[in-house]
Amino acid sequence: MDWITWLIWVIKSLVLILGLLTGFAYLTLYERRALARIQTRIGPNRAGPQGLLQPIADAVKLIFKEELTPAKADKLIFFLAPIITMVPSLVIAAVIPWGTSVRMFGREITLYMADINVGVLYLMAIASIAVYGIVLAGWSSNNKYAMLGGLRSTAQMISYEISLGLSFVTVILLADSMRMLDIVEAQSGLWFVFIQPVGALIFLTATLAEVNRAPFDMPEAEQELTAGYHSEYSGMKFALFFMAEYQKMIVISAIAATVFFGGFRGPFVDQIPWLGPLYLFIKVVILLFGMIWVRATFPRIRYDRLMALGWKILLPLALAIVFITATGILLAQQFGAAFMWFIPVVSLMAGFVAVVAIDRTLRRKYHATR
Amino acid sequence: MRLVEPVVELGRGLYRTFASMFEKPVTIQYPEVKRPVRPRFRGRHVLKRYENGLEKCIGCALCAAACPSDAIFVEAAENTDEHRFSPGERYASTYEINMMRCIFCGYCEDACPTEAIVLGDNYELSFTSREQAIYPKEMLLEPVPDTAMLTPREVEPGKFNRSVPEMKDSQD
């Protein structure tokens, strides 16, 4: 453990954090441009070529805005809440592997911060911490709307984290490991999204709820809650919440890419390790576009329906998926690898049953209102 | 098909938004590109001239009388053949419109007996002080193509005695 190892760690974490911060800035631009195109507009194109300097203009604006603290707020917690929300969204990125390792300056440098053998557990744990910041922000600003936003956020995150965790379990079963690197290596043949498509769908749905994105952006419903938990925040404190939300989007897309879409794996990545980060980046950009696309398409769903979807549809479906995956792996071990096809086929059947259940519920409600 | 309708409907929504990405944007890049205004658009006022360069306005102040928000102020003075602004006896020596009061109703246009005041196409009316909101005659008058047509000017006597011209019905 010489000092150069420490230096490498410091440089790697700096690169990671700066990358996420710039990623956040340009994700806002990406989202605004993509949304604009979907709405047949052009979007911000004034600041710099094609609006490339728009994030900088936004940052300058936010920095110079006045910061207000409500008179009856709990000052300490009001101050801490943005930080508690912000830090996990950076820390969580540490276990995402961007590649295996490259040789630089005569040293073998790994393209990930930490390779812990309980990587998935770490992800789940850190992802849950962020909700504290949101709840504390809602509570400490001493505002009814903010409080409601915070509470909704807790309820929503707890509900969807279970489905999220269960879809992680299917990945752990398939990869037979909780290390992120092992999970990626296990997908060198076939991505897990093909083996467990329903699991991937549950994962993507639950992550939308987890990062408070439309159509599950209940905690910050502008129309009903006047922006929810961050109503009372302004200036840089608000920017921190904003940042946390977008960084969580990036990180969760990277996680989705890692566990279901083959991570940094792609053609020729074994020969040229530098392709790893590139492939992961492309996958993240595509997944982020998916999030923006969904936001542009679907209206926010009602709160009781959100809860009903989480508890009555996604949770039983996720449990069934875990069971089916385990059964499929056992069958494959007993009767040969061909039985792996049991998993996607039966999972899709279970998904079909869930869709039929939604259809029946909606129809019943439709007729009840007549 | 009926059973998987929720999924089909979600897919249709996603397809619709994705397809709209490839439509031509409706945005007009405003300061560089301006959308032409409609024929009856009521923008900033213009004081018109005859083809020979004489002002149409005869200072009758009917526009000021018709103005519901009292935005127009007119003062008239006498024309002479050596010093002629407009045909007829009188011309507007002062003509001011207060753009903070004007509601762009177009009644001044209707009241004008010589069709001198017209609401034009200009809608870019920003100013930074109250004084700048008052548009004097020099700003409102239509520019002339060459300096020989400037008013006041000397004209041959007895030619421009009729103050209100022959009128035709308006076209649009």
Interface predicted TM-score of the whole assembly (ipTM), two decimals: 0.74
Compute the nearest-CA separation of A4 from chain B (Å): 49
Interface touch B25/A38, C-beta < 8 Å: no
Number of domains in chain A: 1
* pLDDT band per the 50, 70, 90 thresholds, residue B26: confident
pLDDT the model gives residue B33: 87
Give me the domain span that covers residue A96: 3-368
User: What pLDDT, on the 0 to 100 scale, is given for residue B4?
Assistant: 72
Determine which helix (DSSP H) or strand (DSSP E) holds A48, and give its type and residue range: none
Rounded-to-integer distance, Cα A287 and Cα A254, Å? 8
CA B147/CA B140 separation, integer angstroms: 18
Beta bridge partners of B153: B84
- B38 shares contact with chain A (CB less than 8 Å): no
Best of B3, B23, B28, B32 to disrupt the A interface by mutation (most A CBs within 10 Å)?
B3
Delimit the domains of chain B by residue range: 45-149
Categorize the per-residue pLDDT at B72 as very low, low, confident or very high, splitting at 50, 70 and 90.
very high
Tokens representing A225 are: 């809650």
The architecture CATH gives domain B45-149: 2-Layer Sandwich (3.30)
Measured CA to CA, the distance from residue B64 to residue B95 in angstroms comes to: 10
Nearest to B20 among A38, A352, A355 (CB): A38
CA A144 to chain centre: 28
Of the candidates B12, B11, B4, the one whose C-alpha atom is nearest the C-alpha of residue A352 is B4
Residues of chain B positioned with their CB less than 8 A from the CB of A296: 17
- Structure confidence at residue B73 as a pLDDT band (50, 70, 90): very high
User: From CA A227, how far away is CA A246, in angstroms rounded?
Assistant: 16
Give φ, ψ of B69 to 5 degrees: -110, 10
- Summarize pLDDT for B119-130 with one digit per residue, the tens: 988 888 888 999
From residue B161, give the alpha-carbon distance in Å to each of B47, B87, B115, B152, B155: 20, 6, 17, 15, 11
In this prediction the pTM is 0.80
Chain A environment of B13 (Cβ under 8 Å):
297-298
Residue A108, H or E segment: strand A107-110
A101: β partners: A110
Residue in chain A nearest B12 by alpha carbon: A297
Least CB–CB distance from A293: residue in B4, B14, B23: B14
* Residue among A125, A55, A132, A133 at smallest CA distance from A94: A125
Instruction: Give the model's pLDDT for residue A221.
Output: 63
Confidence of residue B170 (pLDDT cuts 50, 70, 90): low
Identify the pLDDT of residue B67: 92
Q: Give the pLDDT score at B97.
A: 92
User: What's chain A's average pLDDT?
Assistant: 82
State the nearest Cα–Cα gap between B36 and chain A, in angstroms: 20
B20 touches chain A (CB under 8 A): yes
Q: What is the pLDDT of residue B98?
A: 92
Residue B115 parent element (H or E): none
Query: Cβ contacts (< 8 Å) between A297 and chain B: which residues?
Result: 13-14, 16-17
Name the residue in chain B with its Cα closest to that of A37. B21
Neighbours of A314 (CB within 10 A): 25
pLDDT, one tens digit per residue, over A158-193 is 888 888 888 888 888 888 888 888 888 888 778 888
Does A349 contact B at CB distance below 8 Å?
A: no
pLDDT at B52 over 80: yes
Interface test with chain B among A356, A360, A361, A363, by most B beta carbons within 10 Å = A356
The confidence score (pLDDT) of residue A230 equals: 77
DSSP code for A52: T
pLDDT one-digit tens code per residue, B98-120 = 999 999 998 998 898 888 999 98
Are A70 and A84 contacting, i.e. CB atoms less than 8 angstroms apart? no
Per-residue pLDDT of chain A (370 residues; tens, 9 = 90+): 688 778 888 888 888 888 888 888 888 888 888 888 888 888 888 887 888 888 888 888 888 888 888 888 788 888 888 888 888 888 888 888 887 777 777 677 777 777 788 888 888 888 888 788 888 888 888 888 888 888 888 888 888 888 888 888 888 888 888 888 888 888 877 888 888 888 888 888 888 888 877 787 766 666 666 677 777 787 788 888 888 888 888 888 888 888 888 877 777 777 777 777 888 888 899 999 988 898 888 888 877 788 888 888 888 888 988 988 888 888 888 887 777 777 777 788 888 888 888 777 777 766 666 5
